[in-house]
Chains A and B, each alone.
Chain A
Protein backbone atom coordinates (compact mmCIF):
# COMPACT_ATOMS: atom_id res chain seq x y z
CA UNK A 1 0.00 0.00 0.00
CA UNK A 2 1.39 3.42 -0.95
CA UNK A 3 1.93 5.99 1.81
CA UNK A 4 -0.19 9.14 1.76
CA UNK A 5 1.19 12.02 -0.26
CA UNK A 6 0.08 15.07 -2.25
CA UNK A 7 2.24 14.66 -5.36
CA UNK A 8 0.43 15.79 -8.49
CA UNK A 9 0.77 14.52 -12.08
CA UNK A 10 1.40 16.73 -15.09
CA UNK A 11 2.99 16.58 -18.52
CA UNK A 12 5.46 18.83 -20.23
CA UNK A 13 4.17 19.49 -23.73
CA UNK A 14 7.81 18.97 -24.80
CA UNK A 15 6.67 15.35 -24.83
CA UNK A 16 4.55 15.99 -27.95
CA UNK A 17 7.21 17.94 -29.84
CA UNK A 18 7.42 15.55 -32.79
CA UNK A 19 3.72 15.82 -33.61
CA UNK A 20 3.80 19.60 -33.14
CA UNK A 21 6.92 19.95 -35.31
CA UNK A 22 5.08 18.26 -38.17
CA UNK A 23 1.92 20.23 -37.39
CA UNK A 24 0.06 16.93 -37.00
CA UNK A 25 -1.23 18.29 -33.68
CA UNK A 26 -1.86 21.93 -32.81
CA UNK A 27 -1.34 23.29 -29.31
CA UNK A 28 -5.07 22.98 -28.64
CA UNK A 29 -5.05 19.38 -29.96
CA UNK A 30 -2.21 18.60 -27.54
CA UNK A 31 -4.09 20.08 -24.58
CA UNK A 32 -7.13 18.01 -25.62
CA UNK A 33 -4.90 14.91 -25.56
CA UNK A 34 -3.76 15.65 -21.99
CA UNK A 35 -7.42 15.77 -20.93
CA UNK A 36 -8.11 12.47 -22.71
CA UNK A 37 -5.12 10.93 -20.88
CA UNK A 38 -6.38 12.28 -17.54
CA UNK A 39 -3.27 14.36 -16.85
CA UNK A 40 -4.21 17.32 -14.65
CA UNK A 41 -1.15 19.57 -14.95
CA UNK A 42 0.26 21.35 -18.02
CA UNK A 43 3.87 22.46 -18.50
CA UNK A 44 4.78 24.42 -21.62
CA UNK A 45 8.02 25.70 -23.16
CA UNK A 46 7.19 29.25 -24.26
CA UNK A 47 9.72 29.33 -27.10
CA UNK A 48 8.58 25.95 -28.39
CA UNK A 49 4.81 26.18 -28.74
CA UNK A 50 3.88 29.85 -28.32
CA UNK A 51 4.70 31.73 -31.56
CA UNK A 52 6.29 35.10 -30.86
CA UNK A 53 7.31 34.16 -27.28
CA UNK A 54 8.30 36.08 -25.07
CA UNK A 55 5.84 38.59 -26.56
CA UNK A 56 2.56 37.13 -25.26
CA UNK A 57 -0.46 38.75 -26.85
CA UNK A 58 -3.61 39.38 -24.82
CA UNK A 59 -5.43 37.28 -27.42
CA UNK A 60 -3.16 34.30 -26.77
CA UNK A 61 -3.46 34.61 -22.99
CA UNK A 62 -7.26 34.71 -23.30
CA UNK A 63 -7.21 31.69 -25.62
CA UNK A 64 -4.89 29.80 -23.24
CA UNK A 65 -7.19 30.28 -20.26
CA UNK A 66 -10.14 29.39 -22.48
CA UNK A 67 -8.46 26.06 -23.28
CA UNK A 68 -7.64 25.45 -19.61
CA UNK A 69 -11.35 25.90 -18.80
CA UNK A 70 -12.65 23.96 -21.81
CA UNK A 71 -10.41 20.94 -21.11
CA UNK A 72 -10.36 21.27 -17.32
CA UNK A 73 -6.55 21.46 -17.03
CA UNK A 74 -4.27 23.30 -14.58
CA UNK A 75 -1.36 25.40 -15.86
CA UNK A 76 1.66 24.50 -13.75
CA UNK A 77 5.01 25.40 -15.27
CA UNK A 78 6.54 27.59 -17.95
CA UNK A 79 9.96 26.57 -19.28
CA UNK A 80 12.30 29.37 -20.29
CA UNK A 81 15.75 29.72 -21.88
CA UNK A 82 18.28 32.47 -21.33
CA UNK A 83 19.64 33.58 -24.71
CA UNK A 84 22.75 35.18 -23.21
CA UNK A 85 24.49 35.04 -26.61
CA UNK A 86 21.69 36.62 -28.69
CA UNK A 87 23.50 39.96 -29.13
CA UNK A 88 26.19 40.05 -31.78
CA UNK A 89 29.76 39.91 -30.49
CA UNK A 90 28.99 39.97 -26.78
CA UNK A 91 27.22 38.24 -23.89
CA UNK A 92 24.25 39.62 -21.95
CA UNK A 93 25.03 41.80 -18.94
CA UNK A 94 23.82 40.84 -15.47
CA UNK A 95 20.97 43.36 -15.72
CA UNK A 96 19.92 42.10 -19.16
CA UNK A 97 19.73 38.54 -17.81
CA UNK A 98 17.62 39.71 -14.88
CA UNK A 99 15.33 41.63 -17.26
CA UNK A 100 14.95 38.64 -19.57
CA UNK A 101 13.93 36.29 -16.76
CA UNK A 102 11.68 38.96 -15.23
CA UNK A 103 9.76 38.91 -18.52
CA UNK A 104 9.42 35.13 -18.17
CA UNK A 105 8.12 35.54 -14.59
CA UNK A 106 5.48 38.01 -15.75
CA UNK A 107 4.54 35.68 -18.61
CA UNK A 108 4.27 32.68 -16.28
CA UNK A 109 1.94 34.68 -14.06
CA UNK A 110 -0.21 35.69 -17.08
CA UNK A 111 -0.54 32.03 -18.04
CA UNK A 112 -1.49 31.02 -14.50
CA UNK A 113 1.71 29.05 -13.92
CA UNK A 114 3.19 28.88 -10.42
CA UNK A 115 6.57 27.41 -11.40
CA UNK A 116 9.20 28.33 -13.95
CA UNK A 117 11.72 25.78 -15.13
CA UNK A 118 14.86 27.89 -15.10
CA UNK A 119 17.45 26.70 -17.62
CA UNK A 120 20.70 25.47 -16.15
CA UNK A 121 23.02 28.31 -17.25
CA UNK A 122 21.58 30.89 -14.83
CA UNK A 123 24.00 31.90 -12.06
CA UNK A 124 23.14 31.73 -8.32
CA UNK A 125 23.49 35.54 -8.08
CA UNK A 126 20.72 35.95 -10.65
CA UNK A 127 18.43 33.53 -8.79
CA UNK A 128 19.02 35.52 -5.60
CA UNK A 129 18.34 38.84 -7.33
CA UNK A 130 15.06 37.52 -8.77
CA UNK A 131 13.66 35.99 -5.54
CA UNK A 132 11.60 39.10 -4.62
CA UNK A 133 10.14 39.35 -8.17
CA UNK A 134 9.31 35.65 -8.10
CA UNK A 135 7.53 36.14 -4.79
CA UNK A 136 5.64 39.19 -6.08
CA UNK A 137 4.23 37.17 -8.99
CA UNK A 138 3.83 33.93 -6.99
CA UNK A 139 6.08 31.97 -9.35
CA UNK A 140 8.72 29.58 -7.99
CA UNK A 141 12.00 29.72 -9.92
CA UNK A 142 13.08 26.09 -10.20
CA UNK A 143 16.50 25.73 -11.81
CA UNK A 144 16.78 22.45 -13.65
CA UNK A 145 19.34 19.87 -12.56
CA UNK A 146 19.90 17.78 -15.69
CA UNK A 147 22.55 15.19 -16.62
CA UNK A 148 25.55 15.44 -16.36
CA UNK A 149 24.87 17.61 -13.29
CA UNK A 150 23.38 16.35 -10.02
CA UNK A 151 22.97 17.61 -6.46
CA UNK A 152 26.68 17.25 -5.67
CA UNK A 153 28.21 18.97 -8.69
CA UNK A 154 29.93 22.29 -8.05
CA UNK A 155 27.30 24.69 -9.41
CA UNK A 156 24.49 22.84 -7.64
CA UNK A 157 26.33 23.00 -4.30
CA UNK A 158 26.82 26.76 -4.84
CA UNK A 159 23.11 27.11 -5.56
CA UNK A 160 22.26 25.18 -2.39
CA UNK A 161 24.48 27.54 -0.38
CA UNK A 162 22.58 30.46 -1.91
CA UNK A 163 19.19 28.88 -1.19
CA UNK A 164 20.20 28.17 2.43
CA UNK A 165 21.39 31.74 2.92
CA UNK A 166 18.49 33.50 1.21
CA UNK A 167 15.79 31.12 2.59
CA UNK A 168 13.21 32.02 -0.07
CA UNK A 169 10.49 29.52 -0.96
CA UNK A 170 10.62 31.02 -4.46
CA UNK A 171 14.08 29.90 -5.56
CA UNK A 172 15.00 26.20 -5.78
CA UNK A 173 15.35 23.25 -8.16
CA UNK A 174 13.66 21.22 -10.83
CA UNK A 175 15.10 17.71 -11.02
CA UNK A 176 15.22 15.90 -14.34
CA UNK A 177 15.01 12.19 -13.66
CA UNK A 178 17.42 11.49 -16.48
CA UNK A 179 20.06 11.78 -13.72
CA UNK A 180 18.86 8.34 -12.55
CA UNK A 181 19.63 6.54 -15.81
CA UNK A 182 20.60 3.04 -14.71
CA UNK A 183 21.60 1.77 -18.15
CA UNK A 184 22.07 3.41 -21.55
CA UNK A 185 18.73 3.82 -23.35
CA UNK A 186 18.55 1.20 -26.07
CA UNK A 187 16.75 3.67 -28.38
CA UNK A 188 19.87 5.84 -28.50
CA UNK A 189 22.19 2.80 -28.85
CA UNK A 190 20.06 1.47 -31.70
CA UNK A 191 20.10 4.86 -33.39
CA UNK A 192 23.90 5.05 -33.19
CA UNK A 193 24.03 1.57 -34.73
CA UNK A 194 21.73 2.61 -37.56
CA UNK A 195 23.94 5.62 -38.20
CA UNK A 196 26.83 3.19 -38.78
CA UNK A 197 28.82 3.64 -35.57
CA UNK A 198 31.31 0.81 -34.96
CA UNK A 199 29.40 -1.83 -32.91
CA UNK A 200 32.60 -2.75 -31.03
CA UNK A 201 32.77 0.80 -29.69
CA UNK A 202 29.05 0.80 -28.79
CA UNK A 203 29.40 -2.52 -26.94
CA UNK A 204 32.30 -1.04 -24.96
CA UNK A 205 30.26 2.07 -24.06
CA UNK A 206 27.33 -0.06 -22.89
CA UNK A 207 29.52 -2.29 -20.72
CA UNK A 208 31.58 0.59 -19.32
CA UNK A 209 28.44 2.53 -18.35
CA UNK A 210 26.98 -0.54 -16.61
CA UNK A 211 30.26 -0.86 -14.70
CA UNK A 212 29.91 2.76 -13.51
CA UNK A 213 32.88 4.08 -15.49
CA UNK A 214 32.61 7.88 -15.62
CA UNK A 215 31.60 9.61 -18.83
CA UNK A 216 34.93 11.38 -19.35
CA UNK A 217 36.90 8.10 -19.18
CA UNK A 218 34.41 6.46 -21.53
CA UNK A 219 34.78 9.20 -24.14
CA UNK A 220 38.60 9.23 -23.85
CA UNK A 221 38.68 5.46 -24.37
CA UNK A 222 36.37 5.74 -27.34
CA UNK A 223 38.79 8.22 -28.94
CA UNK A 224 41.66 5.77 -28.34
CA UNK A 225 39.54 3.05 -29.97
CA UNK A 226 39.56 5.17 -33.13
CA UNK A 227 36.09 6.77 -33.14
CA UNK A 228 35.79 9.04 -36.17
CA UNK A 229 34.61 12.66 -36.22
CA UNK A 230 31.33 11.41 -37.70
CA UNK A 231 30.85 8.76 -34.99
CA UNK A 232 31.67 10.96 -31.97
CA UNK A 233 28.39 12.93 -31.72
CA UNK A 234 26.33 9.72 -31.98
CA UNK A 235 28.46 7.99 -29.35
CA UNK A 236 28.25 11.06 -27.12
CA UNK A 237 24.47 11.23 -27.45
CA UNK A 238 24.19 7.62 -26.28
CA UNK A 239 26.85 7.82 -23.55
CA UNK A 240 25.88 11.23 -22.15
CA UNK A 241 23.91 9.94 -19.14
CA UNK A 242 24.48 9.56 -15.40
CA UNK A 243 23.18 7.51 -12.51
CA UNK A 244 23.30 8.88 -8.97
CA UNK A 245 21.55 7.70 -5.79
CA UNK A 246 17.95 8.99 -5.67
CA UNK A 247 18.05 8.98 -1.88
CA UNK A 248 20.40 12.00 -1.98
CA UNK A 249 17.24 14.03 -2.76
CA UNK A 250 16.10 13.46 0.83
CA UNK A 251 18.90 15.76 2.06
CA UNK A 252 17.63 18.64 -0.08
CA UNK A 253 13.89 18.07 -0.55
CA UNK A 254 13.16 21.53 0.88
CA UNK A 255 14.69 23.07 -2.27
CA UNK A 256 13.14 20.71 -4.82
CA UNK A 257 10.00 22.32 -6.27
CA UNK A 258 9.37 20.42 -9.49
CA UNK A 259 10.22 17.23 -11.38
CA UNK A 260 10.66 16.29 -15.02
CA UNK A 261 9.74 12.62 -15.22
CA UNK A 262 12.15 12.17 -18.14
CA UNK A 263 11.83 9.02 -20.26
CA UNK A 264 13.21 7.64 -23.49
CA UNK A 265 11.23 4.44 -23.91
CA UNK A 266 8.18 3.16 -22.06
CA UNK A 267 7.89 -0.58 -22.61
CA UNK A 268 4.55 -2.36 -23.19
CA UNK A 269 4.76 -3.58 -19.57
CA UNK A 270 4.60 0.04 -18.33
CA UNK A 271 8.20 0.25 -17.14
CA UNK A 272 10.87 2.61 -18.44
CA UNK A 273 13.77 0.81 -20.10
CA UNK A 274 16.61 2.69 -18.31
CA UNK A 275 15.22 4.65 -15.38
CA UNK A 276 14.08 2.71 -12.25
CA UNK A 277 10.96 4.72 -11.44
CA UNK A 278 9.83 2.07 -8.92
CA UNK A 279 12.87 3.03 -6.82
CA UNK A 280 12.60 6.79 -7.35
CA UNK A 281 8.93 7.59 -6.71
CA UNK A 282 8.99 6.14 -3.16
CA UNK A 283 11.81 8.59 -2.38
CA UNK A 284 9.61 11.51 -3.42
CA UNK A 285 6.83 10.16 -1.20
CA UNK A 286 9.19 9.58 1.71
CA UNK A 287 10.59 13.10 1.30
CA UNK A 288 7.15 14.71 1.40
CA UNK A 289 7.32 16.25 -2.08
CA UNK A 290 4.00 17.94 -2.81
CA UNK A 291 4.48 19.60 -6.21
CA UNK A 292 4.05 18.38 -9.76
CA UNK A 293 5.71 15.40 -11.43
CA UNK A 294 5.60 16.14 -15.16
CA UNK A 295 6.11 13.46 -17.83
CA UNK A 296 8.82 14.46 -20.26
CA UNK A 297 9.12 12.14 -23.28
CA UNK A 298 12.39 12.51 -25.18
CA UNK A 299 12.86 9.18 -27.01
CA UNK A 300 11.23 10.61 -30.14
CA UNK A 301 14.48 12.07 -31.42
CA UNK A 302 16.24 8.69 -31.30
CA UNK A 303 13.64 6.81 -33.33
CA UNK A 304 12.29 9.43 -35.74
CA UNK A 305 14.64 8.36 -38.53
CA UNK A 306 12.86 5.03 -39.08
CA UNK A 307 9.70 4.97 -36.95
CA UNK A 308 6.58 7.08 -36.89
CA UNK A 309 6.70 8.64 -33.45
CA UNK A 310 3.67 8.04 -31.20
CA UNK A 311 4.23 10.39 -28.30
CA UNK A 312 0.64 10.04 -27.12
CA UNK A 313 1.03 6.30 -26.50
CA UNK A 314 4.41 6.81 -24.81
CA UNK A 315 2.98 9.46 -22.47
CA UNK A 316 -0.11 7.31 -21.81
CA UNK A 317 2.11 4.42 -20.68
CA UNK A 318 4.21 6.60 -18.42
CA UNK A 319 1.19 8.18 -16.78
CA UNK A 320 -0.25 4.71 -16.12
CA UNK A 321 3.05 3.78 -14.44
CA UNK A 322 3.09 6.98 -12.39
CA UNK A 323 -0.53 6.44 -11.29
CA UNK A 324 0.40 2.98 -10.05
CA UNK A 325 3.53 4.18 -8.22
CA UNK A 326 1.61 7.08 -6.68
CA UNK A 327 -1.09 4.72 -5.44
CA UNK A 328 -3.78 6.20 -7.65
CA UNK A 329 -4.53 3.09 -9.68
Chain B
Protein backbone atom coordinates (compact mmCIF):
# COMPACT_ATOMS: atom_id res chain seq x y z
CA UNK B 1 0.00 0.00 0.00
CA UNK B 2 1.35 3.40 -0.88
CA UNK B 3 0.00 6.93 -1.32
CA UNK B 4 -3.28 5.80 0.29
CA UNK B 5 -3.70 9.01 2.27
CA UNK B 6 -3.19 11.06 -0.90
CA UNK B 7 -5.73 9.30 -3.10
CA UNK B 8 -8.85 11.41 -2.54
CA UNK B 9 -8.23 15.08 -3.35
CA UNK B 10 -10.77 17.19 -1.47
CA UNK B 11 -9.89 20.48 -3.19
CA UNK B 12 -11.78 19.20 -6.29
CA UNK B 13 -14.94 18.23 -4.35
CA UNK B 14 -18.07 20.01 -5.56
CA UNK B 15 -21.39 19.54 -7.33
CA UNK B 16 -21.35 19.52 -11.14
CA UNK B 17 -23.62 21.92 -13.01
CA UNK B 18 -24.49 21.45 -16.69
CA UNK B 19 -26.90 23.77 -18.53
CA UNK B 20 -28.05 25.23 -15.24
CA UNK B 21 -28.84 21.82 -13.72
CA UNK B 22 -26.95 20.01 -10.95
CA UNK B 23 -26.23 16.69 -12.68
CA UNK B 24 -23.86 15.13 -10.16
CA UNK B 25 -20.73 15.73 -8.14
CA UNK B 26 -16.96 15.35 -8.54
CA UNK B 27 -13.76 14.84 -6.52
CA UNK B 28 -10.09 14.40 -7.33
CA UNK B 29 -8.39 10.99 -7.32
CA UNK B 30 -4.78 9.84 -7.61
CA UNK B 31 -3.72 6.25 -8.25
CA UNK B 32 -1.99 4.57 -5.28
CA UNK B 33 1.08 3.39 -7.17
CA UNK B 34 4.62 4.69 -7.77
CA UNK B 35 4.26 4.86 -11.56
CA UNK B 36 1.80 5.82 -14.29
CA UNK B 37 -0.81 3.19 -15.15
CA UNK B 38 -2.66 2.65 -18.43
CA UNK B 39 -6.43 2.71 -17.94
CA UNK B 40 -6.81 -0.99 -18.79
CA UNK B 41 -4.67 -1.74 -15.73
CA UNK B 42 -6.64 0.52 -13.39
CA UNK B 43 -8.80 -2.12 -11.73
CA UNK B 44 -11.93 -1.92 -9.61
CA UNK B 45 -12.82 1.41 -8.07
CA UNK B 46 -14.94 0.59 -5.03
CA UNK B 47 -16.48 3.97 -4.30
CA UNK B 48 -18.80 4.55 -1.36
CA UNK B 49 -20.31 7.97 -0.75
CA UNK B 50 -21.96 8.36 2.66
CA UNK B 51 -21.81 4.58 3.00
CA UNK B 52 -23.61 3.90 -0.29
CA UNK B 53 -21.84 2.10 -3.14
CA UNK B 54 -21.63 4.00 -6.44
CA UNK B 55 -21.87 1.69 -9.48
CA UNK B 56 -19.26 1.93 -12.24
CA UNK B 57 -21.88 3.05 -14.76
CA UNK B 58 -22.33 6.33 -12.87
CA UNK B 59 -18.59 7.11 -12.84
CA UNK B 60 -16.29 8.82 -15.32
CA UNK B 61 -12.73 10.12 -14.97
CA UNK B 62 -11.33 13.21 -16.71
CA UNK B 63 -7.60 13.18 -17.41
CA UNK B 64 -5.90 16.11 -19.18
CA UNK B 65 -9.21 17.34 -20.62
CA UNK B 66 -10.47 13.94 -21.87
CA UNK B 67 -13.29 12.09 -20.12
CA UNK B 68 -13.46 8.28 -19.89
CA UNK B 69 -16.48 6.43 -18.49
CA UNK B 70 -15.30 3.88 -15.89
CA UNK B 71 -16.89 0.84 -17.65
CA UNK B 72 -14.65 1.34 -20.74
CA UNK B 73 -11.31 1.49 -18.88
CA UNK B 74 -10.52 -2.12 -19.83
CA UNK B 75 -10.69 -1.09 -23.51
CA UNK B 76 -7.99 1.60 -23.14
CA UNK B 77 -4.50 0.00 -23.14
CA UNK B 78 -2.71 3.20 -24.24
CA UNK B 79 -4.28 6.09 -22.28
CA UNK B 80 -2.18 6.90 -19.23
CA UNK B 81 -3.10 7.98 -15.76
CA UNK B 82 0.22 9.61 -14.95
CA UNK B 83 2.03 9.19 -11.63
CA UNK B 84 0.59 11.67 -9.10
CA UNK B 85 -1.89 13.00 -11.67
CA UNK B 86 -5.19 14.20 -10.20
CA UNK B 87 -8.00 12.63 -12.23
CA UNK B 88 -11.39 14.29 -11.80
CA UNK B 89 -13.98 11.63 -10.94
CA UNK B 90 -17.51 12.70 -11.81
CA UNK B 91 -20.53 10.80 -10.52
CA UNK B 92 -23.87 11.10 -12.32
CA UNK B 93 -26.40 11.92 -9.65
CA UNK B 94 -29.29 14.31 -10.47
CA UNK B 95 -29.43 16.98 -7.77
CA UNK B 96 -25.89 16.26 -6.68
CA UNK B 97 -24.99 16.22 -2.98
CA UNK B 98 -26.62 18.34 -0.27
CA UNK B 99 -24.62 21.14 1.31
CA UNK B 100 -22.66 19.89 4.30
CA UNK B 101 -20.37 16.97 5.17
CA UNK B 102 -20.01 13.80 3.12
CA UNK B 103 -17.76 10.76 3.39
CA UNK B 104 -15.88 9.63 0.30
CA UNK B 105 -14.45 6.13 0.65
CA UNK B 106 -12.35 4.67 -2.19
CA UNK B 107 -10.67 1.28 -2.44
CA UNK B 108 -8.72 1.35 -5.68
CA UNK B 109 -7.22 -1.75 -7.30
CA UNK B 110 -4.14 -1.44 -9.50
CA UNK B 111 -3.53 -4.46 -11.79
CA UNK B 112 0.26 -4.40 -11.72
CA UNK B 113 1.69 -7.38 -13.58
CA UNK B 114 4.77 -8.04 -11.48
CA UNK B 115 2.83 -8.18 -8.20
CA UNK B 116 0.79 -11.35 -7.85
CA UNK B 117 -2.82 -10.37 -7.23
CA UNK B 118 -2.08 -6.72 -8.00
CA UNK B 119 -2.04 -3.88 -5.48
CA UNK B 120 -4.65 -1.72 -3.86
CA UNK B 121 -4.95 1.51 -1.95
CA UNK B 122 -7.67 2.72 0.41
CA UNK B 123 -8.62 6.24 1.44
CA UNK B 124 -11.55 7.72 3.37
CA UNK B 125 -12.09 11.46 3.65
CA UNK B 126 -14.84 13.61 5.09
CA UNK B 127 -15.40 16.55 2.76
CA UNK B 128 -17.78 19.51 2.61
CA UNK B 129 -20.13 20.69 -0.14
CA UNK B 130 -20.55 24.40 0.32
Contact = CB atoms under 8 A, between A and B. Distances in A.
B128 interface: no
Nearest to A146: B114
A224 interface: no
A60 interface: no
The size bracket of the interface on B is 20 to 34
A28 B110 CA distance: 28
B83 A21 contact: yes
B16 interface: no
Contacts of A14: 34
B17 interface: no
Given A23-B84, A47-B36, A48-B34, A84 B113 contact: yes
Name the residue in B5, B35, B82 with the highest tally of chain A Cβ atoms < 10 Å from its Cβ. B35
Nearest to A22: B84
B36 A301 contact: no
A310 interface: no
Interface stretch (B45-53, B54-62, B72-80, B94-102): B72-80
Interface in B1-15: 1-6
Interface stretch (A49-57, A248-256, A267-275, A315-323): A49-57
B12 to A, nearest CB: 15
B77 A87 contact: yes
B77 A234 contact: no
Interface in A280-296: none
B45 to A, nearest CB: 17
Contact of A120 (B30, B41, B74, B114): B114
The size bracket of the interface on A is 20 to 34
B38 interface: yes
A303 to B, nearest CB: 11
B36 A48 contact: yes
Contact of A21 (B38, B77, B84): B84
B36 A53 contact: yes
B78 to A, nearest CB: 8
Tell me if A's interface is mostly helix, strand, loop or mixed.
loop
B113 A20 contact: no
Name the residue in B1, B40, B41, B75 with the highest tally of chain A Cβ atoms < 10 Å from its Cβ. B1
A55 to B, nearest CB: 9
A84 B118 CA distance: 13
B1 A85 contact: no
Name the residue in B4, B112, B114, B120 with the highest tally of chain A Cβ atoms < 10 Å from its Cβ. B114
Contacts of A20: 83-84
Contacts of B38: 83, 86
B3 A88 contact: no
A121 B38 CA distance: 18
Contacts of A119: 113-114
A48 B83 contact: yes
Nearest to B83: A48
Interface string B87-130: 00000000000000000000000011110000010000000000
12 contacts: A21-B3, A21-B6, A47-B83, A48-B35, A48-B36, A83-B38, A83-B77, A86-B40, A87-B40, A88-B40, A120-B114, A121-B114
Interface of B: 1-6, 30, 34-36, 38, 40-41, 74-75, 77, 80, 82-84, 111-114, 120
